[in-house]
Structure 1
Amino acid sequence: MSTAVAEPAAAEDDLLPPAADDQDIPVPPGAPRALLGSLLAPHRRRIAVAVLALLLQQAALQAGPLLVAVAIDRGVPALRDHDAGPLVAVTAAYLGCALLATLLQRAFIRFAARINQDVLLDLRGRIFRHAQRLSLDFHERYTSGRIISRATSDVDTLRELLAEGLQELLMVFLSVGYITVVLVVVDWRLGLAALVSFLPMYLIVRSFRRRSQQVYRRSRTVTAALIVRFTETMNGIRPVQAFRREAANEEAFGTVNRQSATATADGLLEMARYVFLSRLTANVWITGVVVLGAFLVTDGSLELGVLTAFVLYLRRLYDPIDQLAMFLNSYQSAAAALEKMAGLLAHEPSVPEPAEPAALPAAAGKGREVAFRSVSFAYADGKQVLPPFDLRLPAGRTTAVVGATGAGKSTLAKLLARFYDPTTGSVTLDGVDLRGLSTDDLRAEVVMVTQESFLFSGTVAENIAVGKPDATRAEVEAAARAIGAHAFIAALPDGYDTDVRKRGGRISAGQRQLVAFARALLADPAVLILDEATSSLDVPGEQAVQHAMRTVLAGRTAVIIAHRLSTVEIADRVLVMDQGRVVEDGTPAELVAGEGRFATLHRTWKDSLV
């Protein structure tokens, strides 16, 4: 069974969802931590090896000051007695530790880099797959620019943390742990004096974390708004230039840009404040410990080499404070980004896949019966678009739906395509509730062609074959011939192998519509929905499509939503909708002969042709 990919449904002819706040979606408690855990879980062994390498690297690195103390207190006196052995041994040990630390750090970086890239590869894939799974109502409310921001700038922020920040954090904690133990063991008096400094350092770190967290959350939101504004302007560049919106857009972009600059500056100021306070505290404490150590050396209770090692260890203890600041800087930004990505990935589709999909019965012909049973539909805020109604569309018949803008026509089509689920009641296909069908089965049976004839980058043949990926070239050409598109395709520079470029910009709107028709027909659906699908065609093009449609739609269940009454004439049945209700129902001839809304619309259309 072929799988057809439905095109994005246009909402110009229907009631759009109420204007929604396009801010970031709520984040369930614990979702960021759960996301990070699921990303790292497959790499537990490699993480363990990397951590072991870092532990050994820090042990080798932190042995340096102790060896310096031994050299001063033991090696130098022995050298005065013409015994160079101890000093040579200590020097060799120092160089050996330095070399070992370098090799172990290289091993750690290699493991960390591989883990980092695998995690980011997994994360980007998850975001892309999940964004495609999310229902149409989500994409109508949550702009594509924000999704792009999640998969690009937010992922890059997390990459910076994984690539550099975590290594710095681990090194800081390991070095602090090693040095703290050594300081207390070497001399408990100076060790305790140094440990007291941890209290003001902790308060400084805590204050920075709390203040910067708010700054970086705001920064990630503003960054997403920048991408949204830029993407929206570039995607709509033709109306922007046609209606001279450049100045207004520049002003709007400038506002968001200034907000971004302010958020970035606030983050830098917070970091500067942190670095100033931490360095001031460190320098004051080092001075105090050196003075205390000097007194201990002069009264003979402390060796000079031990004091030297102590000073070296103190520098190593406090120097990572700046690294910790950089980590906290990266961490706050990455935490905000991870929070937003976790919110996106935790958002469930409003049109979910059934846990146990039902099987459709074998079709008696090309079409299938569609039934709306006590169906009503309202948006999330409770605003009702379709009041409760019942409707049966017999298999193999073509039904046209007409009515004023906002009458509910496109919502009816979206319910049939299961872009939305009804608020109450059910929509069935040969008696099977659409909610019970797998997405693959549903998209193979029901295909919608909209007035937005979206084409993907690639050749004409590839765009037609979207409806049936395993189609042969002969099948692709047969579909194009049936819809009347073969002539213009053959006239293109490379025929069916012509690259249509971004969004099909190389061919006209009417030609894109014909390719979209060929795509849908190649999918061979049982139910075909045409939502203003001929709106981009000129009169000759529309007539050609209508001629082809009479043959192609024969035997299928078809729903045609149109303003052009010329398209409606090929229907077996016409439904006239008003404010979500079906107010007229009959054949085109019966309704034209009457005195209702359709007859009035038909007379107006006829008069417009004269």
Structure 2
Amino acid sequence: MSTRDRTAATDATVPTAPTAHTSQRGVAGEEDSQLGRDRNRVVRARSRALLGDLLGARRKALAGAAVLVVVSTAGQVAGPALIAAGIDRALPALRDGDAAPLVVVGVLYVLAALAAGIAIGAYVRAAARIAQAVLLDLRRRVFRQTQRLSLEFHESYTSGRIISRQTSDLDALRELLDGGLTGVVSSVLFMTFTAVGLFLLDPTSGLVLAVAVVPAALLTRWFQKRSQVFYRASRVASARLIVHFVETMTGVRAVQAFRRESADAHTYAGLTEDYRAANARTFGLNGRYDPGLVVIGNVTVVVALAVGGWRVLDGAMDVGVLAAVLLYTKRFFGPIQQLGMFYNSFQSASAALEKISGLLEEEPTVAEPHDPAPLPDARGALHLDHVRFGYGTGRTVLPDLDLQIPAGQTVAMVGTTGAGKSTVAKLVARFYDVSAGAVRLDGTDVRDLASRDLRRAVVMVTQEAYLFSGTVRENIALGRPGATQAEIEAAARAVGAHEFVLRMPDGYDTDVNKRGGRVSAGQRQLLSFARAFLADPAVLVLDEATSSLDLPGERLVQEGLRTLLADRTAIIIAHRLSTVAIADRVLVMADGRIVEDGTPDELVATEDGRFAELHAAWQASMA
């Protein structure tokens, strides 16, 4: 209950005169409560729609599994009825010298047992195949969705949360589909068939069972309400634990550099304690529910025995029927306990399904055009046509930027942090869409280009040069998967990476993530340059791409950069003015606007210019 709800509940018990303030607060509380209920209904409907879609493609397999579970349950429930027939009819006939009824009953009992065993085995296998097919489909959907979503989503939705969707949430669904769902379907059918069989066999005993179901149902409902709260708390605690662990391991360098081990260990210990406490509350709830069902079941058996035994003594019930009644009554309460335990898995899986369905419902903020414009051979002419942009609901980063870059020109962008340089790079690469205006490539709005064509024409290299698991060759070939070895080596030579690659243990076959294949930050950046060179884009964007290079490494890559940037449009965002020096044109940005525009020499010669001040400071630092 929220603070507002608790306050409203407390106020309701105090007989005070209504005021405008309390009236408005009550209305606000009701509106919030209604909004919460509406939101929950939408989330549940979305989750049901996803589950229905996943199962709908497997209707035939589900129908076959349903037939198997019906046959299995019928075979199990037939047992007590056959025992009653054997005691009350076959044994007296055997005493009179007729063994046929006993043989018939025995054969039917064996056949029923065989049918039940074979059917339940086939049902479990069929259900497992369905469950694994559903999980495979869902894993693929989640992976494709996370790749499809725009950069804006990934910058706000942490990697830990995505990993939680792919691991713990899908595991919760797996537990439900692998065992829980199989058990609950057979349990419900078993209880239904058992109750029907008992009523048909002896209506009076059926009434005894019906009365006993009331406290069992109340206890189960009490358990369900509390387990829903406890299991959701457990899922939240688990997700927080995973997110903290992933973020700590991902940023372990910063953790160790700033001596955060003790503080992070303390935080992690608190999160693990929360998770332990949440699980302990759940286990404590089970510890009250299970014995309660056992007591109700045993008391019901005692009452059924007393009522049935009295009637047997009066001759109103046969002994075989009494034996069957006791068997039915005892068996009936076993599945109730399984249903209660299933509800735990169901709640956990429901919470997981809500999160996964929410992820799958996300739409890319950068959408594919419905009718993409062709881009057969991009030249690389760029025009930022009165572009306005801001991140989300934050401040406007680019209020009105109008910039033209001719094809083949190398433009360097400099300025203080937050001036809008990286934002321009992201808009050119269409990681974000402009709020107003347009970014045009060769006269075509980039929003009208298919992402495949745009990614082929525009390549962005950032300071976070990421290498994937695999060999050096495979990492360079990401720029063009079909490239030959000669083309890969030529790209490495062009940017100055060939020599250090040859010094690695296995050359281009060295695994970059294994011992002996480790590369420095500067070497990673050179490999990312080789990857971009091999891709051969019309427009190349370097966003602080030389920041990881030391001075000798930077000198080594300067010539490679000239080769990389030749005959293509390039935007270089850098703080190092040595990198800027190779540009044809320099743009100085401040507050999302271009405040200086010219060649490096022209801007250096400008008195009191911002670039001249930056150049002077850089020269002083090199002295």
Q: Corresponding residue for 1:585?
A: 597
Work out whether residues 504 and 517 of structure 2, in 8 Å CA contact, stay in contact via their aligned partners in 1: no
Q: Could you tell me which of 397, 420, 428 is aligned with 2:432?
A: 420
Q: Deviations over 1:175-214 (max 9, x none)?
A: 1111121122112222123123333333333332222222
Amino acid of the residue matched to residue 432 of structure 1? Answer: T
* Structure 1 residues 520 and 504: CA distance shift in structure 2, 3 A: farther
1:380 aligns with 2:401: no
State the secondary structure of the residue aligned to 1:377.
strand
User: Counterpart of 1:376 in 2: which secondary structure?
Assistant: strand
Name 1:270's counterpart in structure 2.
285
CA distance in 1, matches of 2:270, 2:370: 47
Q: What is the CA distance between 1:324 and its match in structure 2?
A: 1.1
- Larger deviation, residues 456-465 vs 290-299: 290-299
| Superposition map of 1:510-529 within 5 A | 510-529=522-541
Name the structure 2 match of 1:313.
328
- Corresponding position: 1:392 with 2:404: yes
2:610 to 576, 581, 597: 597
Q: State how 1:358-507 maps to structure 2 within 5 Å.
A: 358-360=373-375, 362-363=377-378, 367-501=379-513, 506-507=518-519
What residue number does 1:68 align with? 83
- Partner deviation per Cα, 1:394-435 (whole Å, 9 max, x = no partner): 111011111111211111111111111112222111121111
1:272-311 alignment runs, 5 A limit: 272-311=287-326
What residue in structure 1 maps to residue 583 of structure 2? 571
Q: Do 1:457 and 1:503's aligned partners in 2 also have CA atoms closer than 8 Å? A: no
Instruction: Determine the C-alpha separation between the residues in 2 that align with 1:566 and 1:473.
Output: 32
TM-score (norm 2): 0.90
Q: Which amino acid in structure 1 is aligned with residue 546 of structure 2?
A: T
Provide the C-alpha distance between the structure 2 equivalents of 1:316 and 1:281, rounded to a whole number of angstroms.
13
Unaligned runs of 5+ in 1: 1-24
AA at the equivalent of 1:443: R
Code of the residue aligned with 1:571 in structure 2: it is A
Q: CA deviation at 1:488?
A: 0.7
Instruction: Name 2:364's counterpart in structure 1.
Output: 349
Deviations 1:119-170 (A, max 9, x none): 1111111111111111112111111111111111111111111111011111
Whole-Å separation in 1 of the counterparts to 2:219 and 2:550? 70
- The code of the aligned residue for 2:189 comes to L
Corresponding residue of 1:51: 66
* C-alpha contact 1:28 1:346 (8 A) present in aligned 2: no
TM-score normalised according to structure 1 size: 0.92
Report SS of the residue matched to 1:352. Answer: coil
1:30 aligns to what SS in structure 2? helix
Q: Distance in 1 between matches of 2:463 and 2:516?
A: 14
Q: Deviations over 1:474-498 (max 9, x none)?
A: 1111111111111111111111111
The structure richer in helix per residue is 2
Corresponding residue for residue 121 of structure 2: 106
* Partners of 2:510 and 2:517 within 8 A in 1: no
RMSD of equivalent CA atoms = 1.9
1:454–1:503 Cα contact (<8 Å) kept: no
Matched, 1:537 2:549: yes
- Deviation of 1:43 (Å): 1.6
Q: Which residue of 2 aligns with 1:165?
A: 180
User: Is residue 178 of structure 1 aligned with residue 193 of structure 2?
Assistant: yes
Shifted more, 115-124 versus 543-552: the winner is: 543-552
Counterpart AA for 1:166: L
Task: Provide the rounded CA distance (Å) in 2 between the counterparts of 1:339 and 1:385.
Answer: 35
CA–CA separation in structure 2 for the residues paired with 1:393 and 1:419: 19
List gaps (5 residues or longer) in structure 2: 1-38
Matching residue of 1:6: none
Residues 42/524 of structure 1: CA separation in 2 closer, same or farther (3 Å cut): same
Q: In structure 2, do the counterparts of structure 1 residues 223 and 416 end up closer, same or farther at CA, with 3 Å as the change threshold?
A: same
Q: Is the 8 A contact 1:361 1:430 kept in 2?
A: no
Query: Contact conserved, 1:39 with 1:122, CA < 8 A, in 2?
Result: yes
Letter aligned with residue 536 of structure 1: S
Say if 2:68 and 2:119, in contact at 8 Å, map to a contact too: yes
Q: Does 1:606 align with 2:619?
A: yes
Matches within 5 A, 1:209-288: 209-288=224-303
What is the letter of the counterpart of residue 574 of structure 2?
A
Percentage of identical aligned residues? 56
For 1:136, give the aligned amino acid: L
Measure, in 2, the Cα distance between the counterparts of 1:509 and 1:517.
13
Contact kept in structure 2, 1:371 and 1:393, CA below 8 Å: yes
